[in-house]
Amino acid sequence: MAKRLDKTDVVVVGLGWAGSIVAAELSKIGHNVVGLERGKEKKTEDYLTAHDEYRYVIGHEMMQDLSRETLTYRNSTDEEALPMRRYGAFLIGTDVGGGGVHWNGDTWRYHPYDFEIKSQTDEKYGADKISDEYTIQDWGITYEELVPYFSKYEKNSGVSGEQNPLGPEREESYPTPPLKETPVLTEYKEACERLGYHPFMVPASTISQQYVNPDGQTINACQYCGFCEKFGCEWGAKASPIVTTIPTAKETGNFELRTGANVVEIVKEDGKVTGVLYVDLLTQEEVMQPADVVVVTSHTTNNTKLLLHSKLGTPYDPESREGSVGKNYCLHITPSATGFFDKEYNTVTGAGALGIVIDDFNNDNFDHTDLDFIHGASIALKQTGKRPIEQNTVPPGVKNWGAEFKKESIKAFTQSLTSHAQMITLPHRYNYLSLDPTYKDDYGRPLLRVTYDLTEHDRAAHEFIGGKIEGIMEEMGATQVVRSELPDHFDIYPAHNDHIVGGTIMGADPETSVVNNYLQMWDEDNVFVIGGSNFPHNGGYNPTGTVGALAYRAAEGIDMYLEDNRQLASAGEVAGAN
């Protein structure tokens, strides 16, 4: 029998960006918030010796312990899913701050087109442009409605950047100026300009100068040490929950942070959600934390898993196409091209979000009438700082061990550069999340099962974008350019991209979405689910800025719910829905 604690106003499950934003916003206005985090508490001081590639990158120091809990994976419904036994395609963060601590800091607003992708595509290109096997849908909210929340998130983080020449005009400039434009970036920028493109600096949460945010939290100036992705920042110079929202929440006196608390179920009693059940990982005790509102803000995969375990919402069925929990699961496909050069570059210095980017082939910035895909990608060259265990690129034809490998991999460490794109990835009817019938986690509950494969649409977009990147690297003067290739089926093992979305998607229709545009569940008025899991598709940018904006909006919604305990949107009447 689980120990039952005293009730709190709000319990937050997982303290990454989404959870900590909700905790900070609600505790500031006087609500009592309990934050449950399965990992440990981490602070800036804990990363003073983080320049350890083996521990943090190869050893996955900051990631979910897969021995306790993983997911299973298959390419199609006629295969048997098997467990992801070790990390590969994507990583799942843990500890206080979650992925918001080990991220690179690229901070984007999804484009107006993203939020209305279905209606705008139909209107411009006709309803036949994309087969209905691709389950794209509008998000139930518009860019304009999200602007105030994007702005809040950027101000929280002191984002460094400049106006995207092809993007919506900003209502005000970024809180801090762009990072330094280095010689590598200048070369890439000039190559883009010669090709007629419109390069600009990547909006960055690894910030250019010291900044005090509206809550009084200080973020320091980036020192370009080159250890961002998969590391915590020892300078407190990367905006993260541990330097912004967590301290803000703590200062209110209304927030209790409880670590080592692994939530396994949302508890429903007498037809109403009354709290969450968690396992205390130190004592192995089961504990029930009652709350008026449950806010689910764990990783994309774990958000969906928790709803399915708790039997909240209707599980998605790809055959009948009914239900919505687990629907629209998307990875983020990242075409790339590596250029090999005759000269040496400064490749070890950098910052997670230090880069030059173009939007010329993103969103609907170019005509798709004669193309067999929609949307596109942001294409960037980032100077994130190369590290030697991970970076052993060799030109084609060189095998990956032996004398030639040693020589070529050492040479390429300073003489090769890779440009990547964050590319549209459309949801597909058969790419979805469900519970596995065989494999279980440490708590005896079924693992989440991922059914996913590459789609023809995404292959077409990858081919087109890959060609554009190749062109830029050639223009930059590479003697040889090698493009990324997609395998016959998506492979769970090689490293790919951590941006995975969907499963608890937002929308204007309770039949086709899990949450309304306040991220409140249609089926459970006092449950809010926030994260990449809300995205009905993956857009042409890194997702975190949009997650942050959604979290600020959700915090407003939760406060409204606590006023009068109501469903904040009626079907079809959600703010922003036409």
Partner 1 sequence: MADEFEKEKSLSRRSFLKMSGVATGSLVAGTYLGSLIPTDEPKESKESEAPSENEGGEQASAQPTEDYTRAYKYFMNADHFKTIEAAAERIFPEDDLGPGALALGVGWFIDHELASGYGDNKREYMKGPFKEGTPYQGPQYPLLRRDLYDEGIRVMNEISQKDHDALFHELEAEQQDEILTKLESDELELRGAKASDFFEELRLATLSGVYADPLYRGNKDMQGWEMKKFPGAYMSYINEVEQDGAVELEPTPLSSHAESSE
Under the criterion CB under 8 A, does residue 259 sit at the interface with partner 1? no
Pick out residues in 48-77 that bind partner 1 (CB under 8 A).
48-49, 51-54, 58-60, 65-67, 69-70, 73-75
Q: Least separation, in Å, of the C-beta of 174 and partner 1?
A: 17
Site string for partner 1, 80-99 (x = CB under 8 A): x-xxxxx-x-----------
CB 24 within 8 A of CB 245: yes
Of 165, 194, 401, 578, the residue at the interface with partner 1 (CB under 8 A) is: 401
Tell which positions 172-201 bind partner 1, by CB under 8 A: 180, 182-183
457 is a catalytic site residue: no
Q: How many Cα atoms within 13 Å fall on the side-chain side of residue 145?
A: 16
Stretch that binds partner 1, among 363-371, 482-490, 521-529, 568-576 (CB under 8 A): 482-490
Please, what is the minimum distance in Å from the beta carbon of residue 204 to partner 1? 13
The H-or-E segment that residue 468 falls in is helix 456-475
From residue 492, give the alpha-carbon distance in Å to each of 68, 104, 164, 390.
Answer: 19, 22, 34, 18
Q: Is the dihedral of CA 37, 40, 42, 47 positive or negative?
A: negative
Residue number with CB closer to partner 1 (194 or 440): 440
Whether 511 and 479 have beta carbons less than 8 Å apart is answered as: no
Q: E strand or H helix at 106, and its extent? A: none
CB of 441 to partner 1, least distance (A): 9
Q: Least distance (Å) from partner 1 to the CB of residue 230?
A: 14
Instruction: Verify binding: residue 79, partner 1, rule CB under 8 A.
Output: yes
Q: Does position 210 bind partner 1 by CB under 8 A?
A: yes
Binding positions for partner 1, 346-385, rule CB under 8 A:
346-350, 354, 383, 385
Q: Are 376 and 370 in contact (CB under 8 A)?
A: no
> Which CA distances in Å does 572 have to 566, 576, 578?
16, 9, 7
Q: Are 414 and 347 a contacting pair, CB within 8 Å?
A: yes
Q: What number of other Cβ atoms are within 10 A of residue 9's Cβ?
A: 17
Sites for partner 1 among residues 3-32 (CB under 8 A): none
Minimum CB–partner distance for residue 333 and partner 1 (Å): 15
Nearer to partner 1, 172 or 343 (CB): 343
Amino acid identity of residue 481, one-letter, is V
How far apart are CB 209 and partner 1 at their closest, in Å?
Answer: 6
Q: Are 12 and 245 in contact (CB under 8 A)?
A: no
Residue 267 · residue 3 · CB < 8 Å: no
Sign (positive or negative) of CA dihedral 410, 381, 208, 211? negative
CB of 60 to partner 1, least distance (A): 7
Judged by CB, which is closer to partner 1: 107, or 347? 347
Q: Which is nearer to partner 1, 180 or 258 (CB)?
A: 180
Which member of 60, 309, 332, 499 is catalytic? 499
Least distance (Å) from partner 1 to the CB of residue 548?
Answer: 22
Binding mask 536-565 for partner 1 (x = CB under 8 A): ------------------------------
User: Which member of 120, 142, 209, 567 binds partner 1 (CB under 8 A)?
Assistant: 209
- Nearest CA to 103 among 532, 431, 461? 532
- d(C-alpha 33, C-alpha 563), whole Å: 16
CB 335 within 8 A of CB 420: yes
Helix ranges restricted to H, 41-198: 53, 99-102, 112-115, 117-125, 143-157, 183-194
Q: Which is nearer to partner 1, 120 or 391 (CB)?
A: 391
Q: Does 570 bind partner 1 (CB under 8 A)?
A: no
- Rounded to whole angstroms, the Cα distance separating 153 from 476 reads 35
Residues in contact with partner 1, counted by CB under 8 A, come to a total of 79
Q: Does 170 bind partner 1 (CB under 8 A)?
A: no
Q: Is 491 in the site for partner 1 (CB under 8 A)?
A: yes
Q: x/- string (CB under 8 A) for partner 1, residues 311-350?
A: --------------------------------xxxxxxxx
Query: Catalytic residues, which ones?
Result: 499
